[in-house]
Structure 1
Amino acid sequence: MTTTTTSTPTRPSAAAELIADFVSTGGRLTDRADLARFLREHRLVTEGAIPITLADLEETLTLRDGIRALLDRDTTPDPETLARAQKVLDGLRVTVRLEPTEHSESPLAPAVVDEVRRGLSRIAGAWATVLATDEWRRMRL
């Protein structure tokens, strides 16, 4: 008797999908309007005006480049790129949820009121989730 096993492809988690979208923005994230659009499209901020500074954009791009460097299996990550991205993460304020919510993909929640930093904190939470589940190792650029 022959037994065949079929495997069902595993769908990426919401956190992995967010990280994949974030690192693949490339030329689509070049100015403050692009950043506002990305944050809104991914529901990382509330509706309404988002005051975005050039420093906010720079931090976002720095974080994206650091995560992208870790996910790029074809090259060795530049330590300076990783250090700059880590500095962005170190500056974000997050808190741990006592109870999970229906709409959260991460146990981490933003602990800030600034909309851009709230969005970056949610990206950081998604990154923490893919790290904790080891899903980042299956992600490809």
Structure 2
Amino acid sequence: MTTPTRRSTAAELIADFVSTGGSLTDRADLARFLREHRLATEGAIPITLADLDEAIALRDGIRAVLERGSDPDHEAIARGQRVLDGLRVTVRLQPVPDTGVQLAPAVVDEVRRGLARIAGAWASVLATGEWRHLRL
């Protein structure tokens, strides 16, 4: 008998983010996702169409990496990488309890802070190798 392993908080966030599929189609959907995952505060979140485009590009890029097919969507990966390249994160000296996430948002904008937290979670699952076990 094998012992079931529990996904890390970071892996759960990534799995939820990439599985949004058709439920991330407008700014309200993005606001709902950010609130439900405590990536943004309650209340109004000013989300631009550019913010939504970035969130979708990031999601599609991560999904393309996780699909690990013989012919990955290189354009989706490149778009997702451009989003990651534009996010500002900082490394924490001490890990966040219960998450192990070492990267924290270094931005003020609410939406970009949420995307930076997703980026931190992605960095965590890459560092641990947990991304190899995520299924879409």
Helix, strand or coil for the counterpart of 2:52? helix
- State how far apart, in whole Å, the 2-side matches of 1:75 and 1:37 are: 34
Runs of at least 4 residues off by over 6 Å: none
Distance 1:104 1:112, change over 3 A: farther
Tell me the CA shift for residue 76 of structure 1: 2.2
1:52 deviates by 0.0
Q: Is the 8 A contact 1:95 1:110 kept in 2?
A: yes
> In the alignment, does 2:124 pair up with 1:129?
yes
For normalisation by structure 1, the TM-score amounts to 0.92
1:77 aligns to what SS in structure 2? coil
Give the counterpart of 2:48 among 48, 53, 60: 53
Instruction: Pick the aligned partner of 1:118 from 113, 117, 135.
Output: 113
Could you tell me how far apart the structure 1 residues matched to 2:100 and 2:69 are?
Answer: 29
| CA displacement 1:30-86 (0-9 Å, x = unmatched) | 000000000000000112210000000000000000000111134521211111110
Alignment of 1:7-46 (within 5 A): 7-46=2-41
| 2:66 alignment partner, one of 62, 71, 85 | 71
More helix by share: 2
In structure 1, runs of 5+ residues without a counterpart are 1-5
Normalising by structure 2, report the TM-score.
0.95
Identity of aligned residues (%): 76
> One-letter code of the match for 1:109?
A
Query: 1:36, 1:50 within 8 Å by CA — same for their partners in 2?
Result: yes
Give the secondary structure class of the aligned counterpart of 2:104. Answer: strand
Which residue does 2:75 correspond to in 1?
Answer: 80
Question: The residue matched to 1:95 in structure 2 has which SS?
Answer: strand
Contact 2:89 2:104 in 1 (8 A): yes
The alignment yields a C-alpha RMSD, in angstroms, of 1.2
What are the ranges of 5 or more consecutive residues in structure 2 without an aligned counterpart?
none
